[in-house]
Amino acid sequence: MAELKYEIIEEIGVLSENAKGWRKELNLISWNDQAPKYDIRDWAPEHEKMGKGTTLTKEELQKLRKIIDQIQ
Residue in 44, 45, 53, 1 with CA at minimum distance from that of residue 26: 53
Among 63, 2, 4, 59, CA closest to 34 = 4
pLDDT digits (tens, 9 = 90+) for 4-37: 899 999 999 999 999 999 999 999 999 999 999 9
pLDDT band of residue 1 (cuts 50, 70, 90) is: low
pLDDT tens per residue, range 28-69:
999 999 999 999 999 999 999 999 999 999 999 999 999 999
Q: What is the pTM of this model?
A: 0.89
Write down all domains in the chain, each with its CATH number in brackets: 6-69 (2.30.31.70)
Q: Which of 52, 34, 32 has the alpha carbon at shortest distance from 42?
A: 52
Confidence of residue 2 (pLDDT cuts 50, 70, 90): confident
